[in-house]
Structure 1
């Protein structure tokens, strides 16, 4: 898509909710005249972020000076081989001081770790491009009043950007020359925080749980996402209508999996994922569920974790484990290690899955 001068001029008149975008976008465009779709601009932003140590991958902590966010990240390899989980936290996402992007990815299949890392690498920059273009289109649409309902307009723009991004990432992955994703894939759970709003996009069975303070002062969990398992009626219906099959193996009662019409494969335990092209014609999709939440003073933190955590830890237990960790930099590690111990007690004889978590606190100075 060609972004012309008139769009750049219109962007300079955005309301305060978009302050900073026109500046960063115009600067990158000036350095790259003739850029057709803004992708170079987004990639340049990613490079700048890396140089400034604003991107964290895998295990660690992010606490940028002056930021309202504090993120703790940890991942532990299971007993099935290489760790196929990976994560990312990106402060000042898109060169916007009030924005953060974080995501957790759970690969599966022979090439799952490569697929997960590829999606982690490609999704943020693609999302930035789609977000910039959606903002530009909205600024030129006379039927859209950006000032009338900022919250709804933000959500519409982010949802549209996420839908386009996930479709593009899945298409590009299918044609990647060095990654065989026919029988391999990854889930993706990501969050964008923009000021006092968070936008959650979920593809697969990882889960986001918010910890908020109730009227009596106790912390309670609020599940922000749906675990997209084949056992969900709406998911099973779609798969069956596409001639896929959903059933449990005799030695795994209660674990519903996705199967090809006439073959005992691939046996996926999730109904949405990137990759896995062997079953993309049979009901598996990479369409995200996108939701938003307004963050208030009662909301303390959000946990993003792969199913390796939620298979053995309840939402309430996760909130208690994280809130009870005195050193918040170690909160994700405490949760992951607690899940690993729970695996040994609750799932004896079953190989432990990879276990990963991000704990995103909504305070620059974490609560102790």
Structure 2
């Protein structure tokens, strides 16, 4: 079992959440960004949702899960992108996606280990929409990412707190999915997947991350478009994550260090952006495995014994008219492209499909420029259209009217 449950782990820093398992809130200097640490798409038109919305919580979640079972979208939309309305905010989401299998000269038939899911709507509420990217790794990485993209959605919809407390529901869904993967016949001892997900609920988005895939939102600041990271890669480059896994017993060394080519006592690897292709990795105390370059994931039962936990970090973010789009992508994109580069590239295109194609093509080119192979590359781009300050003002006034009506009714 992982260090969050292990008897050999001592101290709060060896945990993926607080002592009692509640999410840990962390604020950042990006607005009011609250950070909690606690392939498919459904775009069928004309469904009668009013009746579904009258179901009980249990039946409601099961109805939503039945929707997931009918989903199938392994290819780009034929018309370029898809549009879904968000009634409560009176705006639209226009999205597209692309997943490119990696190029491996010694394994030309290697499967794409990336998976993604898009559920619009998510469950039975027309205001809930879900996007996820899952980057599998290890011998059974492709199967792990497929398993997680399916089970995570089911667990989230089935959670009794999904409607009232999506942060806690997301946290619980990640942990439940991790336990299910451990219990499955699928061997996850040295395989697993990252998970980066975005739940859109009205104009609030909930970003949950476990691993080194990433979510980024574009923000207008005057005449500039600035990339705001909605997740922080969980790797040994982060001092907090490095300290946590060390307390769980992990040795953290690069390949050159583990092979004796560099001094293993030098625990200074610079920054992730300046990585020379030999990042710090996690190793068991007396072995040459598992060698993960990330500190959180779903699966990886052996790595879990040295601190690689599934506990997600969750960010809650309010959309405004200054946020034209957001991006989810696997590290196949961010290995050689910064968040700012990705946002600037995406901003050049009106259609998110064209933006996806450009980002994947540039990522692929850079991989072959610096390596003899490419990683699997997956990207989802979601445009936020029609969200204006006037719209927000009307919504706030409507909320005030409803509040006053409730007061009058009670009195």
Shorter chain as denominator, the TM-score bin is 0.7 to 0.9
Distance in 1 of aligned mates of 2:68 and 2:277: 46
Kindly report which structure 2 residues correspond to 1:31-180, keeping only aligned pairs within 5 A, or say none.
38=58, 41-48=60-67, 51=70, 56-57=73-74, 59-60=76-77, 63-64=82-83, 66=85, 68-80=92-104, 81-130=110-159, 132-133=160-161, 135=163, 157-177=165-185, 179-180=186-187
TM-score normalised according to structure 2 size: 0.70
Deviates more, 1:303-312 or 1:246-255: 246-255
Secondary structure of the residue aligned to 2:134 is strand
Residue 242 in structure 1 maps to residue 266 in structure 2: no
Kindly report which structure 2 residues correspond to 1:294-309, keeping only aligned pairs within 5 A, or say none.
294-309=318-333
Q: Note if contact 1:229-1:271 (Cα within 8 Å) is conserved in structure 2.
A: yes
Q: Note if contact 1:63-1:364 (Cα within 8 Å) is conserved in structure 2.
A: no
Secondary structure of the residue aligned to 1:339 is helix
Q: Which residue of 2 aligns with 1:186?
A: 193
TM-score normalised according to structure 1 size: 0.78
Secondary structure of the residue aligned to 2:233 is coil
Out of 255, 273, 279, which is 1:255 matched to? 279
Deviation of residue 231 (structure 1)?
A: 2.4
Q: Which residue of 2 aligns with 1:12?
A: none
Q: Which residue of 1 aligns with 2:337?
A: 313
Residue 342 in structure 1 maps to residue 404 in structure 2: no
Q: Which residue of 1 aligns with 2:375?
A: 353
Out of 204, 229, 232, which is 2:235 matched to? 229
- Deviation track 1:275-295 (CA, whole Å, cap 9, x = no partner) reads 110121211100000011110
Secondary structure of the residue aligned to 1:282 is coil
Deviation of residue 28 (structure 1)?
A: 5.6
Q: Which residue of 1 aligns with 2:206?
A: 199
Distance in 1 of aligned mates of 2:84 and 2:350: 21
Distance in 1 of aligned mates of 2:291 and 2:161: 38
Higher helix residue share: 1
Secondary structure of the residue aligned to 2:190 is coil
Q: Note if contact 1:235-1:271 (Cα within 8 Å) is conserved in structure 2.
A: yes
What residue ranges of structure 1 are gaps of 5+ in the alignment? 1-20, 30-37, 139-156
Distance in 2 of aligned mates of 1:358 and 1:328: 8
Deviation of residue 242 (structure 1)?
A: 1.2
Q: Which residue of 2 aligns with 1:144?
A: none
Q: Note if contact 1:208-1:305 (Cα within 8 Å) is conserved in structure 2.
A: yes
Q: From the superposition, tell whether residues 240 and 59 of structure 1 become closer, same or farther in structure 2 (CA, over 3 Å).
A: farther
Distance in 2 of aligned mates of 1:66 and 1:25: 17
Residue 277 in structure 1 maps to residue 285 in structure 2: no
What residue ranges of structure 2 are gaps of 5+ in the alignment? 1-48, 87-91, 105-109, 262-275, 388-411
